Amino acid sequence: MARKTGWGETLLGLAILAALAGVGTAVYFEQFRPHPAAYSADKPDYLPPPAPRPAAAARPSRVNPPEGMTALGPSEYFDPDTLYEKIDGRAELYLPAGFRSLECRRLGIPGDEDSVVETFLYDMGSPRSAYSVFSQQQREDAEPRDFTRYAYLAENALFFCHGSYYLEIIAGTAAASAREALRKAAAQVMADLPAEPADLPELARLPEAHRLAGHPRLYRTDGLGFAPLTDLFVADYQIGEFQLSGFVCARGSEAEAAKLAQAYQQFIMDDGAMLLPPIPELPDARVLDFYGTWQVLFTRGPYFAGVHQAGDRLSAEQLALLLDRQLSEAAP
C-alpha cells in the first residue's frame, strides 16, 4: 500500500513549486520589457568590453599614400555596426543605401600641415549604391571634375564615385597644397582600386533641358517618402520662375511600372492630392493638385516617371512633355 505523505512534505513541495513558478513568471513578463541596449549586440560601457577588433595591420589597406605623401597612421575600418562611431547620425544616410564598410586614413606631405587630407573610402556594395550616397550630399558651388564619371571638387574636398566605392577626400583648408594633395590622393586610390563599370541608364532618361547644375539624386529606398518607390532618380529643373523636380524609375516590366504608378497615385491621394483634368498632349498622364503644387504621373514601358512639386501647371506640363519625349526616344 502506498505511503501517504505528511503535511510537512506537502508544504515543502508546494513551496518549491511556488518558488519555481515565481521565477518562471518573472522571466516571462520581463521578456516583454527589453532594455534598449538589449537590441544591440554590444554591451553598455560599464560591462566588460567586447573583444578587440582584428588589428588594422591584418587588413590590407586600400588607401595608400602617393609619391611625395606619407600615411599619418594606419587605416581605420568600420562596418555597418560601427559606422556611427565615425560619422554619428550621418550613418543613417549610408546604411539604407547598402553600406558595407568604411576605411579611413590620413595622408600628408611631411612638414606641410595644410596638405593633410583624410580619405573616406565607402564600400557601398554596388555602383548604384555608391552613386546614391554621392548624389544625395552634393555641395553648393561644386566644380565638376571629369577624372571619373561622377565627381566634383569643393573648396577643400573631393567627392567622387569609383565603381562600388564612394570616396570623400577632405583637407582642413583650401590652400593650394591641400588641393594638390587631394588630387594626388585621389589618383592613387583610383589606381589601387579595381576598375568597375558604373553605368546607370536611368540618368539618360532625365532630360537635360532646363536642368539645374549638379548630378540627379538617386534614392535607393523610400523615394518621395513612399517605401515601394525604390531606385528613384530625381533631377531639379528651373522652368520660367518655378523650380520643380522630374523623376524616373525603372521596373522589370510595363505591368510592374503601371502597378507602381497606381500605388503611388493612391498614396498621395490618401494624403489629400486631387485629380485634375489631363494634359491634352499626354492624355494617359495623371495630373494632381497636392496642396497647391502640381504633380504629373505616367508610365512609358518599364519606366514610371513624373513631375514633382511644380509651382504651376504650365511648368509641370512642360517638364512632363520633355520627360515623355526622352522616354519615348529610349523605348526599344
Partner 1 sequence: MSRPPLDPERREFLARGLKAAAALAATGLAGHALGWRTGRADREEVHDWPVPDFSQPAADPRLAIVTGPDRTTNLRKAMEALGGWARFVKPGDGVLLKVNAAFASPATLGATTHPDLVAEAVAQCLRAGASRVVVTDHPIHDQASCFEWSGIGAAARRAGAELWVPREDDFAPVTLPGGRLLRHWPFLKGPFKGIRRLIGLTPVKDHYRSGASLTLKNWYGLLGGRRSVFHQDIHTLIAELAQLVRPTLVILDGTTTMIRNGPTGGSLADLKATDTLVVGTDPVAVDAFGVTLLGREASDLPHLARAAAAGAGTASYELLNPVRIQAGAS
C-alpha cell at 215: 548630378
Question: Cα separations (Å) of 17 from 11, 22, 161, 277, 281?
Answer: 10, 9, 65, 74, 80
Whether the CB-CB separation of 129 and 163 falls below 8 Å is answered with no
| 147 vs 328, beta carbon nearer partner 1 | 147
- Told to check if 103 binds partner 1 by CB under 8 A, we report no
Q: Which residues of 76-105 are buried (b: 16+ CB within 10 A; e: fewer)?
A: bbbeeeebeeebeeebeebeebbbbbbbbb
Kindly tell me which residue out of 70, 139, 212, 253 binds partner 1, with binding defined by CB under 8 A. Answer: 139
Distance CA 103, CA 85 (A): 13
Binding mask 23-52 for partner 1 (x = CB under 8 A): -xxx--x---x-xxx-xx-xxxxx--x---
Told to check if 14 binds partner 1 by CB under 8 A, we report yes
Which residue type is seen at 19?
A
Cell 529610349 belongs to 330
Number of residues forming the site for partner 1 (CB under 8 A): 54
Nearer to partner 1, 140 or 146 (CB): 140
All three cell numbers of 234, joined, read: 530625381
State in angstroms the smallest separation of the CB of 265 from partner 1.
29
Q: Characterize the bridge pairing of strands 274-276 and 242-250.
A: unpaired
Binding positions for partner 1, 146-165, rule CB under 8 A:
154-157, 159
Binding test (CB under 8 A) with partner 1, winner from 56, 59, 62, 84: 84
CB of 174 to partner 1, least distance (A): 6
- In the complex, the smallest distance separating the C-beta of residue 45 from partner 1, rounded to whole angstroms, is 4
**Residue 123 found at the interface with partner 1 (CB under 8 A):** no
Is the Cβ of residue 88 or residue 241 nearer to partner 1 in the bound state? 88
The b/e string for 50-61 (b: 16+ C-beta within 10 A; e otherwise) is: eeeeeeeeeeeb
CA nearest to 169, candidates 245, 289, 48, 65: 65
Q: Are strands 143-144 and 112-123 parallel, antiparallel or unpaired?
A: unpaired
The only residue of 99, 160, 161, 168 in contact with partner 1, by rule CB under 8 A: 168
**Three cell numbers, residue 43:** 554591451
Nearer of residues 24 and 272 to partner 1, judged by Cβ: 24
21 counts as binding partner 1 under rule CB under 8 A: yes
Q: Which is nearer to partner 1, 91 or 249 (CB)?
A: 91
Binding site for partner 1 (CB under 8 A): 2, 10, 13-14, 17-19, 21-22, 24-26, 29, 33, 35-37, 39-40, 42-46, 49, 76, 82, 84-93, 118, 120, 137, 139-142, 154-157, 159, 168, 170, 172-174
